[in-house]
Amino acid sequence: MVVVDTVWLTEREHRAWRSFVRLQAELRSRIARELQRATGLSGSDYEVLVLLSEAEGRRMRAFEIGAQTGWEKSRLSHHLTRMEQRGLVERQPCEHDTRYADIVLTARGHTAIVEAAPLHVAHVRAIFFDALSAEQVDALGDVADTVLEHLEKHSD
């Protein structure tokens, strides 16, 4: 049994945390549902397609995608398999070194992201940014960056 010097949250912290957690859940489910409904893509599909569509030659090494998204390698591999089965991306193994695989955006994948992006951005604006002032947006960005920096220092 680990002994912890229990320091509970203050009333303000507790309220902020509950609101923040609830906000995450609401945004995640609404955005995923709308994206799925309008385009047939999942949020994960969307992330990968954006990265590939912006990459040189519309291709990346799998581990680069992993680094950009922060996903574990098994999750990435599983997801690329599913996207490949739906014709959104293609795996092109390197000759002479089977450890590496290039992930290439297909024409179908390109069409999908070109059609999905404006819908997705409009939705994010409608449910999120339309509610916030410029100051609130800046404050949120500041909080997010502050915590992310803090997390980088913490051993993974």
**Residue nearer to DNA on the CB measure, 126 or 139:** 126
Residue 62 interface partner, choices DNA, a second copy, none, CB cut-off 5-8 Å depending on type: DNA
The distance of closest approach from Cβ of residue 80 to a second copy in the complex, given in angstroms and rounded to an integer, is: 18
The distance of closest approach from Cβ of residue 48 to a second copy in the complex, given in angstroms and rounded to an integer, is: 14
Residue 8 interacts with a second copy (CB under 8 A)? yes
Cα separation, 95 vs 112, whole angstroms: 29
Q: How many residues bind DNA (CB under 7 A)?
A: 31
Cα separation, 101 vs 35, whole angstroms: 28
Residues in CB range of 3: below 8 A, 6 or more apart: none
**Residue nearer to a second copy on the CB measure, 26 or 93:** 26
Residue pair 90/44 in contact (Cβ under 8 Å)? The answer is no
Integer CA distances (angstroms), 142 to 13, 104, 115, 146, 147, in order: 17, 35, 31, 6, 9
Integer CA distances (angstroms), 31 to 25, 41, 146, in order: 10, 11, 25
Radius of gyration over every alpha carbon of the chain, rounded to an integer in angstroms: 19
Residue 99 interacts with DNA (CB under 7 A)? yes
Which of 67, 94, 114, 143 lies at the binding interface for a second copy (CB under 8 A)?
A: 143
Characterize 24-39 residue by residue with b for buried, 16 or more Cβ atoms within 10 angstroms of its Cβ, and e for exposed: eeeeeeebeebbeeeb
Which of 13, 54, 72, 142 lies at the binding interface for DNA (CB under 7 A)?
A: 72
**Residue nearer to DNA on the CB measure, 45 or 49:** 45
Which of 16, 17, 20, 100 lies at the binding interface for DNA (CB under 7 A)?
A: 100
Which of 44, 53, 68, 106 lies at the binding interface for DNA (CB under 7 A)?
A: 44
Footprint of DNA on this chain (CB under 7 A)?
Answer: 29, 32-33, 36, 42-45, 61-63, 66, 71-82, 91, 96-101
